[in-house]
Chain A
Amino acid sequence: DGGITQSPKYLFRKEGQNVTLSCEQNLNHDAMYWYRQDPGQGLRLIYYSQIVNDFQKGDIAEGYSVSREKKESFPLTVTSAQKNPTAFYLCASSIDHFGTHSNQPQHFGDGTRLSIL
């Protein structure tokens, strides 16, 4: 079945450590997204990618980095510069990023919960 796979489901980070969250999709979608969810807040966009080898900062990109070397993969690294990384992280994809198919929905993974040790 086509979908988005995020791993791991739970992740713990030590002080000063970088950790990488995996996101893979087999939907052949061009656009991919990383969101962060905190209690009492709506989903906030960290980074998005419209196409392979391209990505753009979202609203809260500081302390995060991404890469898009393959169409199906969009890993997110939470660096030590992110001082408050504890949150639930969701990866999503869509056919394109509000281009020709602007009416298309986003498809989501099951999320990764990141906590500080």
Chain B
Amino acid sequence: ILNVEQSPQSLHVQEGDSTNFTCSFPSSNFYALHWYRWETAKSPEALFVMTLNGDEKKKGRISATLNTKEGYSYLYIKGSQPEDSATYLCASHNAGNNRKLIWGLGTSLAVNP
């Protein structure tokens, strides 16, 4: 069974703090790692899809890195704002999954003004 694990489960930060969280995924037969942001009462929104070892991607104040050899990805948020409050999900696509994404449980971020 292939598992994707995210840590921490939840996080509370103050406005202006920078923060980061981790996604661990199976490194064997790796194809792609997806990051999504899911705000309450909205639909999950894609942030990044990363495929190459050493990939770094950035979208505004949010960035992500990828290490496919050891099977982890970090998501960073610089200068957190209250509108960043959401659950951040990652999902891994590995061969042998019958071509499905395996989803983590998410990291719930609350940014206090």
Alpha-carbon separation in the docked complex, A58 to B106 (Å): 21
Given the known inter-chain contacts A4-B43, A104-B49, please indicate yes or no for A97 contacting B34, CB distance below 8 A: no
User: Interface residues of B toward A: which range?
Assistant: 20 to 34
Asked if B27 is at the interface of the complex by the 8 Å CB criterion, the answer is no
User: Interface residues of A toward B: which range?
Assistant: 20 to 34
Summarize B's interface: helix, strand, loop or mixed: strand
CB distance from A1 to the nearest CB of B (A): 13
Residues of A within 8 A of B46 (CB): 105-107
Q: Interface stretch among A12-20, A38-46, A68-76, A77-85?
A: A38-46
| Interface 1/0 per residue, A29-60 and B, CB below 8 Å | 00000000000111111001000000000110
Asked if B99 is at the interface of the complex by the 8 Å CB criterion, the answer is yes
Residue picked from A43, A59, A98, A102, most chain B C-beta under 10 Å: A43
Whether A103 pairs with B49 at a CB distance below 8 angstroms is yes
Q: A: which residues have CB within 8 A of B?
A: 4, 40-45, 48, 58-59, 90, 97-98, 102-111
